[in-house]
Amino acid sequence: MQKARLSRVIVLAAVGAVALGACSARNESDSGGDTPPQSQAAAPAQASNAANPAGDGKAQCAPTSIAYAGTINGNNAALGQNILYGVDLAVTQHNKANPGCQVKLEKFETEGTPDKAPGIVTQIANTNSIIGVVGLPFSGESKAAGNIFNDKGLVQLTPSATNPTLSQNGWKTFFRGLGNDNTQGPAAAQFITQELKADKVCVVRDDSEYGTGLADAITKALGEKATCQQTVKTKQIDFAAVVNDIKSKSPQAIFYSGYYQEAAPLAQQLSDAGVDAKFVGPDGVKDDEFVKGAGDAAAKAYFTCPCVPADQFTDFSTAYKAASGKDPGTYSPEGYDLATILLKGIDAGKKDRASLLDFVKTYDGQGLTKHFKWDDKGELAKTTVWTYKVEGGKIVRNTEIK
Amino acid sequence: MLIHHELTTHVLADIKFDPGAFVDQFWQNTVDGLSQGSIYALVALGYTLVYGVLKLINFAHSEVFIYGAYATWFTFYGLGFRPGSTPDLPVFELIGFLLLALVVSMLVSGGTAVVLERVAYRPLRKRGAPRLAFLITAIGASFVLQQILFLTRGGNAERSIRLMKPEAQFTIFGAEITNVTLIIIIASVVLMVFADVFVNRTKFGRGIRAVAQDPDTATLMGVNKERIIILTFLIGGLLAGAAAFFYMIKNPQGASYQGGFILGIKAFTAAVLGGIGNLRGALLGGILLGLVENYGQAFFGGNWRDVVAFVLLVLILMFRPTGILGESLGKARV
């Protein structure tokens, strides 16, 4: 009797599912397209002397490994995958061109959280065959695990962690492949007040290391124009009270300091509530996932990012697309550049952690995205910040903030 | 240590006391709190019913809920809608699609709850396992259900699909009432009344109350205990499925494998707040929790949402250890 009833429920559910699956797709997404044409800065051309992972094809080395550590399927996975595919491409190109020097890329999933990263990084540090790491994309996990790299003398090149304090811990192994938020914060403030002409700006931060650090930097740079502050939590998706508060302050622009996972629903709920302020997000928000998640609200969004548009890096973009099936995303070229630096070191005969660390420390060379030469804290001398906007459902470059 | 120290200073710097914002946004927050609270209340009913009958905190109920959320998403997807901009549908078509999604979510959640009872709890009951074993099984089942979603759908939330935009229909004291809020509040109230009548007025409900009160005597009086237990899980699941549907039209990004966890904890809190085992207590607790969370955010800032909710729980349990309305499904006076 009970058995019969139970199976009836299951059959009913199954029939429903099949019936639903049979219907065809409609309403293919096509968000926005109503952005007025703005002056778009030309994307930088590919430097002719940019380091190429293929090298001269004559490199000889014993089999060795480098690693990528960061989110792969965890929080804000798209940001990590962009980097991973870039790194992977560099290693593949290198190995193909250099039969005498095969480098293995090992991938480690940190889920992007500060509580998981230290365990994973310890595991990497204890694997002696790994002599260099591209990774820890996020600031929170970098802060939690940076000392482990330092203790084991394992060189760590981060392609995207931008919290300024990361380079002030005395870690000898930390190198940042882009500008930090002491550059991005003021640049974003300048963009919002001068280009978007907003005098009342709401700064919304999440509770991550990255979000709080960047929010402090932009708030300081905005000065009196930062007229309201709000805080949200990682993984929050219902923002009713936050939206009500922002609405009552009627800002002209909103800067969301955090990642796309929370930014997408927030942007949508703000737009639904009739808040028509311009929505500006930093590099953590600049991803296609934001555009897809925020729906119609994405058409009005802008992004700031210490990343260089890859539009002109045609060789790279073509190879990237062939390998991953996608266009390069935020920090794909940066991941590629940093992996290339490690590979150059290996090709130059560096075969242990200490010598590879020395190699990176004294490295001085052009990459796709910029010139790489680090100071003693692991920061680059010259960095750039670009702004991006959404056009026809895609993120496109806007201007370079100077 | 350093990290913790900096964290505390950050947090303390973030707290704000903003009575002005609290007063200004009071009505809007009340309305939003009511709709969020209705969702908590519907999920809380599942916790409270199962507790009443089995004296078991069914921690896997949060996953029963999230399976409903996925069901809503898949229904929309199966109907041919894709993530991106919100389509403009004729009213009748829209209502039809929404009703379909509601029914599918309820069936999926109800089915999940029944299967859960069958696979996880019944074998234990047959062997007369101690109560702690049930509790650990509940937590284990919750992980299993989560990981099934993780393995099949991945770690990221499903991209939002929605069929209707929240649009203000009218205002009360300056608070905008949107179509979504209206649907959630009205439909929830209907379901709550239905659940209350079912438990208090029907033959099946009498069975549930009888088993809750004294399982052995109930069996002697001709109540089929096993059947009542399945029924209890089914009702809890159906209500959780409805809640999941409301949750998804409110937060289309809600379908993620861990997405049920916090909401489940909140609903459980709501059930304890009102008096676990007490049907009306769960309703009251859910709505109260939804309201207080929103007021607390307006007053202290957005990141204080969970703190406010749990401080409320601690305070109420301090003065009324059995919750606001007390434990009562097991008592004769229901």
pLDDT over 90 (residue A50): no
Q: How far is A250 from A245, CA to CA, in rounded Å?
A: 9
Q: How far is A332 from A368, CA to CA, in rounded Å?
A: 11
- A242–B contact, CB cutoff 8 A: yes
Residue of chain A with shortest Cα separation from B110: A9
pLDDT over 90 (residue A30): no
A86 and A331 in contact (C-beta within 8 Å)? yes
At residue B240, what are phi and psi to the nearest 5 degrees? -65, -35
Residue B224, both tokens: 């089929």
In Å, how far is A241's CA from the nearest CA of chain B? 6
Q: Do domains A2-30+181-305 and A64-180+309-372 have the same CATH topology?
A: yes
Tell me the three state secondary structure of residue A367: coil
Q: How far is B42 from B287, CA to CA, in rounded Å?
A: 10
Q: Give the model's pLDDT for residue B20.
A: 80
Q: How far is B265 from B244, CA to CA, in rounded Å?
A: 15
With contacts defined as CB-CB under 8 Å, which chain A residues touch B154? 73, 77
Q: Is the dihedral of CA A218, A222, A223, A229 positive or negative?
A: negative
Q: Give the model's pLDDT for residue B331.
A: 57
Q: How far is A190 from B12, CA to CA, in rounded Å?
A: 29
Q: Is the dihedral of CA B94, B100, B101, B106 positive or negative?
A: positive
Query: Look-up: residue for tokens 């560096």?
Result: A350
- Are B162 and A235 inside 8 Å of each other by CB? no
Which of A215 and A58 is assigned the larger pLDDT? A215
Q: Give the model's pLDDT for residue B33.
A: 94
Neighbouring C-beta atoms of residue A274, cutoff 10 Å = 11
The angle at the Cα of B7, spanning B4 to B9, to the nearest 5 degrees, equals: 115
The DSSP letter of residue B163 is S
CATH 3.40.50.10890 fits A64-180+309-372, yes or no: no
- Are A2 and B226 inside 8 Å of each other by CB? yes
- Are B104 and A111 inside 8 Å of each other by CB? no
Query: Look-up: residue for tokens 């996880």?
Result: B120
Q: Give the model's pLDDT for residue A187.
A: 95
- Are A232 and B302 inside 8 Å of each other by CB? yes
A320 and A85 in contact (C-beta within 8 Å)? yes
Going from N- to C-terminal start, the domains of chain A cover: 2-30+181-305, 64-180+309-372
- pLDDT confidence bin for A310, thresholds 50/70/90: confident
Residue among B110, B115, B159 whose CB faces A292 most closely: B159
Residue among B36, B156, B160 whose CB faces A77 most closely: B156
Q: Give the model's pLDDT for residue A37.
A: 45
CATH 1.20.58.1290 fits A2-30+181-305, yes or no: no
Average pLDDT over residues A205-226: 94
Q: What share of chain B is helix, strand, coil (3-state, %, to 5)?
A: 75, 5, 20
In Å, how far is B142's CA from the nearest CA of chain A? 19
Terminal-to-terminal C-alpha distance of chain A: 75
> Exposure pattern of B248-261 as b/e (b: 16+ CB <10 Å)?
bbbbbbbbbbebbb
- A380–B contact, CB cutoff 8 A: no
Residue among A212, A230, A244 whose CB faces B28 most closely: A244
Residues 62-101 of A with CB under 8 A from B: 73-75, 77-78
A257 and A218 in contact (C-beta within 8 Å)? yes
Q: For A340-396, what is each residue's pLDDT tens digit?
A: 999 999 999 998 999 999 999 999 999 999 999 999 999 998 888 999 999 988 999
- Are A248 and B104 inside 8 Å of each other by CB? no
Q: Is the dihedral of CA A25, A28, A29, A31 positive or negative?
A: negative
With contacts defined as CB-CB under 8 Å, which chain A residues touch B294? 240-241
C-alpha closest to that of A369 among A339, A398, A324, A392:
A339
C-alpha closest to that of B333 among B280, B270, B271, B274:
B280
Q: For A88-114, what is each residue's pLDDT tens digit?
A: 999 999 999 999 999 999 999 999 999
- Are A2 and B254 inside 8 Å of each other by CB? no
Residue B321, both tokens: 């250890």
A130 and A106 in contact (C-beta within 8 Å)? yes
Q: For A288-309, what is each residue's pLDDT tens digit?
A: 889 988 888 898 899 999 998 8
Task: Give the containing element (helix H, strand E) for B93.
Answer: helix B91-116
- pLDDT confidence bin for A161, thresholds 50/70/90: very high
Neighbouring-strand partners of residue A164: none
Neighbouring C-beta atoms of residue B170, cutoff 10 Å = 9
A203 and A215 in contact (C-beta within 8 Å)? yes
- A10–B contact, CB cutoff 8 A: yes
| CATH level 3 topology of B17-319 | ABC transporter involved in vitamin B12 uptake, BtuC (1.10.3470)
Q: Give the model's pLDDT for residue B14.
A: 63
- A383–B contact, CB cutoff 8 A: no
Q: What share of chain A is helix, strand, coil (3-state, %, to 5)?
A: 45, 20, 40
- Are B107 and A24 inside 8 Å of each other by CB? no
B50 and B236 in contact (C-beta within 8 Å)? yes
B51 and B135 in contact (C-beta within 8 Å)? no
Residue A398, both tokens: 């806007």
Query: Look-up: residue for tokens 């002599």?
Result: A131
Residue of chain A with shortest Cα separation from B11: A207
Residue of chain B with shortest Cα separation from A1: B227
**In whole numbers, what is the pLDDT of chain A averaged over residues?**
88
Q: Give the model's pLDDT for residue A48.
A: 79
Residue A223, Ramachandran bin (φ over 0: left; ψ between -120 and 50: alpha; else beta): left
The angle at the Cα of A209, spanning A207 to A215, to the nearest 5 degrees, equals: 75
C-alpha closest to that of A252 among A201, A302, A300:
A201
With contacts defined as CB-CB under 8 Å, which chain A residues touch B115? 6
Question: From the candidates B204, B234, B248, B253, which should be mutated to test the interface with A, based on the most A CB atoms within 10 A?
Answer: B253
Residue among A229, A245, A292 whose CB faces B83 most closely: A292
C-alpha closest to that of B64 among B81, B83, B33, B42:
B42
Q: Give the model's pLDDT for residue B228.
A: 94
- The pTM (predicted TM-score) of the whole model is 0.84
- pLDDT confidence bin for A31, thresholds 50/70/90: very low
Query: Look-up: residue for tokens 């991803």?
Result: A287
With contacts defined as CB-CB under 8 Å, which chain A residues touch B258? 235
- A289–B contact, CB cutoff 8 A: yes
* CB-defined contacts A:B, below 8 A: 154
Q: Give the model's pLDDT for residue B3.
A: 43
With contacts defined as CB-CB under 8 Å, which chain B residues touch A261? 157
Residue B206, both tokens: 């009498």
Least-confidence region, from A3-12, A244-253, B271-280: A3-12
Residue A351, both tokens: 């075969």
Neighbouring C-beta atoms of residue B41, cutoff 10 Å = 32
- Are A29 and B85 inside 8 Å of each other by CB? yes
In Å, how far is A399's CA from the nearest CA of chain B? 26
Residue of chain A with shortest Cα separation from B165: A272
Residue A255, Ramachandran bin (φ over 0: left; ψ between -120 and 50: alpha; else beta): beta
With contacts defined as CB-CB under 8 Å, which chain B residues touch A13? 104, 107-108, 111
pLDDT over 50 (residue A18): no
- Are B302 and A235 inside 8 Å of each other by CB? no
In Å, how far is B167's CA from the nearest CA of chain A? 7
- Tell me the HSE value of B73 on the side-chain side, using a 13 A CA sphere: 23
Q: Got the DSSP string for B242-261?
A: HHHHHHHHH-GGG--TTHHH
Q: For B218-239, what is each residue's pLDDT tens digit?
A: 999 999 999 999 999 999 999 9
Strand arrangement of the beta sheet that strand A155-158 belongs to: A103-109, A64-70, A130-135, A155-158, A174-176
Q: Give the model's pLDDT for residue B23.
A: 84
In Å, how far is B22's CA from the nearest CA of chain A? 9
With contacts defined as CB-CB under 8 Å, which chain A residues touch B298? 241, 244-245
- pLDDT confidence bin for A264, thresholds 50/70/90: very high
- A18–B contact, CB cutoff 8 A: no
Neighbouring C-beta atoms of residue A347, cutoff 10 Å = 22
Question: From the candidates B8, B156, B178, which should be mutated to test the interface with A, based on the most A CB atoms within 10 A?
Answer: B156
- Are A241 and B297 inside 8 Å of each other by CB? yes
Residue among B16, B230, B251 whose CB faces A265 most closely: B251
Question: From the candidates B8, B28, B89, B228, which should be mutated to test the interface with A, based on the most A CB atoms within 10 A?
Answer: B28
Residues 306-335 of A with CB under 8 A from B: none
C-alpha closest to that of B287 among B42, B97, B123:
B42
pLDDT mean values, one per 10 residues, chain B (334 residues): 44 68 88 95 95 91 97 95 86 94 97 96 93 93 95 86 89 90 95 93 92 90 93 96 96 90 93 91 94 90 86 90 78 46
- Are B104 and A20 inside 8 Å of each other by CB? yes
